[in-house]
Amino acid sequence: MSTAPDITTIAPRDRAEILAQALPYIRQFHGKTMVIKYGGNAMTDPALQQDFAEDVVLLKLVGINPVVVHGGGPQIETLLQRLGKKGEFIQGMRVTDAETMEVVEWVLAGEVQQDIVGLINQAGGKAVGLTGRDGAMIRARKLRMTDQADPSREHDVGQVGDIVAVDPAVVKALQDDQFIPVVSPIGFGQNNESYNINADVVAARLATVLQAEKLLMLTNIRGVLDKEGQLLTELTPQRIDALVADGTISGGMIPKIAGALEAAKSGVNAVHIIDGRVPHALLLEVLGNEPFGTMIRSA
């Protein structure tokens, strides 16, 4: 549950001070694009959902251009279980056969996306839901997944996509019209087949092609933790390689970190992995001056 104080309990002078402290960041980021990967507890806790929607709308109102890319793993898993189907993962990627792909499309492009759009609109924004098919935004091909332990082996993960190209024209057009794009991580192939793409990878690539000021990835942890559970506030490529090698970074964190690092190397000014369980996590990161979560550096 959100435990943020009611603003009516804060003295007027303190409220003014809080707003004044945010002003330099509003000025710095005015007119800039920020891509937000939305997932984890922030998507399933009703109070955090409302906090997230309010944060996104506030960013838009002060002249920042948020683009939301969402996941939906728990919701997909729930529906698969109801259908009597067990989810399978290889190296953090969901194995997606034809039946699972139907569920993925129904959940991501339907239920989950429309819930997010509705929350943002209810908070006073104007959100529009998109998939990679809209405006031919995300072209993909079948992902060829190499085994981490044995590079001579490949895993068949079904209709999981590897991004071929991203055309951000539809996102830019919506931004110019004051809309907030909400993107489901579904791409399409040359034969019009659908592909399930890791949402972290989509967010990172979209941030790159949009030349975003920031890529913000909401997670269920404080950031990247070492083996003792201590927060790593900053990571370089060399440190990331070492953490993958010793198993500290594993499973679903691997594509998240890989995407973040690719974005940092490709010109996104700041990439942050932040704790989506914290009320108003977005505002704390964007409009605050305290270190929050883990920052990925390109070198």
Residue 209 CA to residue 198 CA, distance in Å, equals 17
196 is in an annotated binding site: yes
Picking from 100, 103, 105, the residue whose alpha carbon sits closest to that of residue 89 is 100
Is 200 within 8 Å of 253 (Cβ atoms)?
no
How is residue 232 written in tokens? 């790593």
Sheet containing 161-166: which strands, arranged edge to edge?
161-166, 138-142, 186-188, 194-196
C-alpha angle 79-220-278 in degrees, rounded to nearest 5: 120
73 is in an annotated binding site: yes
Is 228 within 8 Å of 189 (Cβ atoms)?
no
Q: Mark 220-242 as b/e (b = at least 16 C-beta within 10 Å).
A: ebbbbbeeeeeebeebeeebbee
Residue 101 CA to residue 160 CA, distance in Å, equals 9
DSSP alpha helix (H) spans, the chain: 12-29, 41-44, 46-61, 73-82, 98-106, 113-122, 169-176, 199-209, 237-245, 253-265, 281-286
72 is in an annotated binding site: yes
Annotated binding site for substrate: 72-73, 94, 196
Annotated binding-site members: 72-73, 94, 196
